[in-house]
Structure 1
Amino acid sequence: MNYRHSFHAGNFADLVKHALVLWLLTTRQAAGPVTVLDTHAGAGLYDLTGDAARSREAEAGIQRLMAAAARPALIEALAAEVAALNPNGRVRFYPGSPVLIARALKTADHYVGFELREEVAGLLRDSLKAFPGARGEIGDGYDMVRAEAKQARGSLVLIDPPFERPDDYLRAAETAGGIVRADPDATVAIWTPLKDMETFDGFLRRLASATAAPTLVAEARLRPLTDPMKMNGCAMVVVNPPKGADAAATEICRWVAGTLGDAGARAEVWRA
């Protein structure tokens, strides 16, 4: 299963990822200036009338979120960011992690996002032009965030690969391990699809071996994990989670699963 940002922009998995990333950033900012590093940044901003219109996943994701009458605080925070980009009330534009984070940066904060594909890296740079504390770079994010993390102590790192390559799970675990070994104060958030438990459990075992650090697993399952060809849910795996992360992840995952999922949907938040 390939996961391209532009095709899936604004779907349920983006809601889980981006609501939790916003909370993680705000929490880290409370302790002082923060550097955010992003391995697979994508284009930064998405027009939902483009590739996403073909998948129609945004209709079942961000459009339902924006129409919901009652939203918990951490979901409301994401809704406010989307509303700010769509002042006419329609939901045409959706912020990827780069724009979402760049909009929330304080004066002393920094964001560096990496994108391997040259044409997408150009879109990334364009989307960040208005934000002096943010920049987009072309290159292999797995390797480049490790070099950047050595220079930025206590960074917040987002690992969000498209899972187009068979070694993405392995490289995500190895990259997280390299970061926390070099900087034990770093927080690393890894997004993964949930297709089947065998794949996910294997990833968690690799990650535990690579990091040996406290790890939070937040799952939002929209349907039972019975068809490995479908993205039945998603997970955010947070290495070195800050205080309050369990409650924050529970609020987000319960709302997404309960509001957007099928009858068998559920949320699970636990420590690996």
Structure 2
Amino acid sequence: MNYRHAFHAGNFADLVKHAALLQLLTRLKVAAKLTVIDTHAGRGLYDLAGAEARKSGEAAAGIVRLMAAAEAPLAFAPLTEAVRRLNGGGSVRRYPGSPWLIAEAIRPNDSYVACELRPEEHGALAQALKGRANVRTLCADGYDVAARETPGGRVLVLIDPPFERADDYARIVETAQAVRRRTAGAVLMIWLPLKDLATFDGFLADVEDAVAAPLVAECRIRPLTDPMKMNGCALVLLGAPAGLVAPLEAICRWTAETLGERGEARVYQA
């Protein structure tokens, strides 16, 4: 997969990930201070009028269609409202990545650590989040940061790598183990591409054996017949709070059926 997320910003997978992330944050911001650690933050904001987005056309087939949809599920409302605010209520020219969404959603007493390993991307990230007192950006390996710095208390760790490295799946499992050793009640949300079932099922088995049985949300925009394509995406959640299943089902089903070709969705406990 191309690491430069500018090609993919606002695509169907971003809609699933970001709508679910905002639903999750709503349920975690109910009591004590929340710490969010984002292992692969990216640049934070994306120009949908840029050459990369126009070349791929993925934003036009994703967030632009969602914003124009008259009957999208209410589970998308926090995301579409965030996109409207970012664009001043006008046409969709900019798209918020997870760092922008998290920084906007958390409370003044919460904290957010956004990790990005690529210096150029981290520079853009730091600029996008500049001046926020409760936000820290690190040009660092997010897996290592999460394993080393996860504090006690209420914690959400978002793991969303580009899957350019052969060891990403193994490092996700290792990081989840390390996070849970430090903070048993930590919540983790892991995003993965869906290409073939063998890879995905193997990862789920590794997570269940090493950490715990996760809540899984699958959004398939086409049948998993060509492992060279990203045929969908999945969210794997550890420690998911109550009340998340229904919005996840609505998000994944609408995306699969509206934006996909013979798409399907399901949410289940592995």
TM above 0.5, one fold? yes
Report percent identity of matched pairs: 55
Tell me the alpha carbon deviations over residues 15-58 of structure 1, each in whole angstroms, 9 at most, x when there is no partner.
00000110111100013221110000000111112222211100
1:135, 1:44 → 2: CA distance?
Answer: 13
Count residues in correspondence.
269
- Counterpart residue type for residue 90 of structure 1: S
Task: Please name the residue that 2:160 is paired with.
Answer: 160
What is the Cα deviation at residue 88 of structure 1? 4.9
- Contact in 1 for aligned 2:40/2:160 (Cα 8 Å): yes
Preserved CA contact (<8 Å) 1:61 1:260: yes
Q: CA deviation at 1:3?
A: 4.7
In structure 2, C-alpha distance between the alignment counterparts of 1:64 and 1:270, rounded to whole Å: 27
2:68 counterpart residue number: 67
Which structure 2 segments of 5+ residues have no match?
Answer: none
Verify the 8 A CA contact 2:222 2:232 in the aligned structure 1: yes
In 2, distance between residues paired with 1:259 and 1:152?
41
Query: What is the CA distance between 1:71 and its match in structure 2?
Result: 1.9
Which residue of structure 2 lines up, in the alignment, with residue 266 of structure 1?
Answer: 264
- Partner amino acid for 1:266? E
Alpha-carbon distance between aligned partners in 2 of 1:72 and 1:130, rounded to the nearest angstrom: 34
Deviation at 1:201, TM superposition (A): 0.7
Q: Distance in 2 between matches of 1:171 and 1:146?
A: 10
Residues in 2 aligned to 1:97 and 1:201: alpha-carbon distance in whole angstroms: 26
Q: Identify the range of structure 1 (233-242 vs 4-13) with the bigger mean alpha-carbon deviation.
A: 4-13
- Contact in 1 for aligned 2:193/2:232 (Cα 8 Å): yes
> What secondary structure, in the 3-state scheme, does the structure 2 residue paired with 1:155 have?
strand
- 2:78 alignment counterpart: 77
Q: Are the structure 2 counterparts of residues 112 and 120 from structure 1 closer, same or farther at C-alpha, using a change threshold of 3 Å?
A: same
Tell me whether 1:222 sits opposite 2:221 in the alignment.
yes
CA distance in 1: counterparts of 2:140 and 2:8, whole angstroms? 22
Runs of at least 5 residues in structure 1 that lack an aligned partner in the other structure: none
CA–CA distance in 1 between the matches of 2:258 and 2:184? 36
1:233 partner amino acid: G
Backbone CA RMSD of aligned residues: 1.2
203 and 4 in structure 1: CA distance in 2 versus 1, 3 angstrom threshold: farther
Map 1:1-272 to 2 at 5 A: 1-50=1-50, 51-149=52-150, 151-211=151-211, 213-262=212-261, 264-272=262-270
TM-score (norm. length: structure 1): 0.96
* Structure 1 letter corresponding to 2:136: R
What CA distance in whole angstroms lies between the structure 1 residues aligned with 2:8 and 2:113? 22
Q: Is the 8 A contact 1:216 1:241 kept in 2?
A: yes
CA deviations on 1:233-264 (whole Å, 9 max, x unpaired) are 000000111111211211111111121111x1
Give secondary structure in 1 for the equivalent of 2:223.
Answer: coil
Classify the secondary structure of the residue corresponding to 1:189: strand
2:216 aligned partner, one-letter code: V
Distance 1:146 1:271 in 2: 25
Separation (CA, whole Å) in 2 of partners of 1:26 and 1:147:
26
Deviation at 1:223, TM superposition (A): 0.3
